[in-house]
Structure 1
């Protein structure tokens, strides 16, 4: 995991090698938030196309429920998915970040990298950074890698 300060705020990156074909991993990532959702995703609507919207409601332990409105900016299956994410919390807080998922073939499978940038503080970035490894672990579990 890496953490950086960029011109548009703080950024993070996490990666994991998953032993599965790229199309399987990509589809499982989308399904994680749209189809076969885990308990912490309580609702979702997806229009998977460039410019499409992807609205997700989360209930993560220790965090008040929030909704994330994603606007898809990059769609190149099975190698890249990018979107802006606007998270709206019950207290009125709004956070906008940019997320990119990339998959690269490596010996043993796919290197799955999730990058997110635009956090206003290191503390907020670190809250999100703690969740992404769990997302990648769930993704690996789902595809058997």
Structure 2
């Protein structure tokens, strides 16, 4: 399958923090547990083997309903600039498929701009679900950073 075809999600998020700190928040399980997931969701378990070829697995708890899981493999790790990994649901919906997430971090004055790209989605509905999830997750990340200052 050609990963450059299909539906892609692109988002930007400006956060008031230095790039090395933001990279840590995007990659370390103890920090991910504090902001990952849409509004109301928690991350009760996150394990990572943080190396190229290493894997990760997150357990997400929605406000109501059963715990569910996502996992993947780290494809590129370039601290504090770039992080690339696969993303797949362990209990996929019929139109889910593995995607690739690319996170780029650029320094901007006293802040960091996060560029996110995720592709290739099978349907617009799955893309929009991820857009909502990432948008809410980034809002939680900004809240976390303002609470740390």
What is the rounded CA distance, in whole Å, between the counterparts of 1:50 and 1:140 in structure 2? 27
Residue deviations 1:37-95 (CA, integer Å, cap 9, x gap): 14521221111111110111122347764211110001001111100112122767752
What is the rounded CA distance, in whole Å, between the counterparts of 1:70 and 1:108 in structure 2? 32
In the superposition, the TM-score normalised over structure 2's length comes to 0.80
Q: Which residue in the other structure is 1:14 paired with? A: 11
Q: Which residue in the other structure is 1:112 paired with? A: 114
Q: Which residue in the other structure is 2:142 paired with? A: 140
What is the rounded CA distance, in whole Å, between the counterparts of 1:35 and 1:75 in structure 2? 18
Q: In the alignment, is the contact (CA less than 8 A) between 2:95 and 2:122 conserved in 1?
A: no
RMSD: 2.4
Q: Which residue in the other structure is 2:25 paired with? A: 28
Q: Which residue in the other structure is 1:88 paired with? A: 90
Matched pairs, number: 138
Deviation at 1:111, TM superposition (A): 0.8
What is the rounded CA distance, in whole Å, between the counterparts of 2:64 and 2:115 in structure 1? 25
What is the rounded CA distance, in whole Å, between the counterparts of 1:59 and 1:112 in structure 2? 25
Q: In the alignment, is the contact (CA less than 8 A) between 1:65 and 1:89 conserved in 2?
A: no
Q: In the alignment, is the contact (CA less than 8 A) between 1:28 and 1:142 conserved in 2?
A: no
Which one of 74, 80, 84 corresponds to residue 78 of structure 1?
80
What is the rounded CA distance, in whole Å, between the counterparts of 1:80 and 1:87 in structure 2? 23
- Is there any run of 5+ residues in structure 2 with no aligned partner, and where? 35-40
What is the rounded CA distance, in whole Å, between the counterparts of 1:49 and 1:23 in structure 2? 17
What is the rounded CA distance, in whole Å, between the counterparts of 2:66 and 2:115 in structure 1? 27
1:141 aligned counterpart, secondary structure: helix
